[in-house]
Amino acid sequence: MAMDSVVGRLMALLDLLQSQGKMTLDELSTGLNVSERTIRRDIQKLQSLDVQLEVTTGRTGGVRLESGSLFHALRFTDDEVLALSLGLELVKQSSLGLAETVTTSASRRLQNTMSERLYKRFEALSVSLNSLKTPISKTKNQVPSSLILDIAEAIKQTSRLELSYRSGKNAITSRLIDPYGMVYLEPYWYLSGYCHLRKAVRIFRLDRIRQVKPLPQTFTKPNDFNSLAIVSQGIAVSAKGSLACEIKLYTNLEKASSLIPPTAALLEAKKDFVLLRLRCFPEQLPEIALHLVKLPCSLRVIKPRALKDSLYNLSEKAKTLANA
């Protein structure tokens, strides 16, 4: 029997034990379509490789893979690489209180189990993803993992992409895109980048991409390009009935960035202040006014007038409560 067949059978045996738990020799031989004698030999081979197997005899006997013994023999599909990458990214962004060294160590351990090709894809995805501030949930707008990984590689390698894209009105266009970054905002995946057809930065929903083709041409990504902010504002602008808000924050950009989430607004450094721009719906103005009051810096609302009114109403309510 060829070496590849032996290795493949050993891995299939491990997969069965990992997914099914304790199994009898008869169940294993049936599942792998080999004799029980072959199964016994394969078990001995695995034990010689320090794979910890619990083998018991008798009516209730069988073979069980001991917990944690498979780590050095793990194999990952592209889908599993994507899941692990996203899981690590979410842990980094969560409030679990885990040190960065923990996720770094986990990444290093994963890298040691991957082939060179899968490691490159894993690395590309980790580098190209923006912060994920909302939980990833199942949605009917699911995107193939291969598409996400292909785009991630193009972002990391600054390679131009050719897209076949379906618009919201079902019009199909071919686009040349310089991909800058990917973002997940419930419930969609988005790609931001320079569109050569529109001669401007655009955002694209990944579930509307019908086909993607990497091109040999490369590009230079703008410095400090914030894909998350661009996508967030792009979604807000496209929402009917939304209001444009502009507020001067009398602080520096570094401080403002620590106070304002990138998903909430765009920040632009000016000579003596930071300009905060966001879009919202009228019913959100009281909440925005409350957040502005909490900011530890002076500010002035430029527009809209309705936001100024919300701040005034908030101050009047505070006066009433103080005098109650």
- Name the DSSP letter for residue 284: G
For the residues 126-154, what does the mean pLDDT come to?
68
Q: If we measure between CA atoms, which residue out of 130, 36, 21, 120 comes closest to residue 66? A: 21
Beta bridge pairs of residue 162 = 176, 213
Tell me what the pLDDT averaged over the chain comes to.
80
Domain 239-322 architecture: 2-Layer Sandwich (3.30)
Q: Which pTM was predicted?
A: 0.51
- Cα(136)–Cα(85) distance, integer angstroms: 13
Which residues are within 8 A (CB) of 173 and not within 5 positions of it... i.e. 6 or more apart? 164, 165, 167, 197
pLDDT at 87 over 60: yes
pLDDT at 151 over 80: yes
Residue 297 has a pLDDT of 92
Residue 134 has a pLDDT of 47
Q: Which CATH class is domain 3-73?
A: mainly alpha
In the chain, list all ranges with CATH 1.10.10.10: 3-73
In the chain, list all ranges with CATH 3.30.70: 239-322
Helix runs in 21-144, H state only: 25-32, 36-48, 78-93, 100-111, 116-128
Query: 279: pLDDT confidence band, cut at 50, 70 and 90?
Result: confident
Residue 215 has a pLDDT of 95
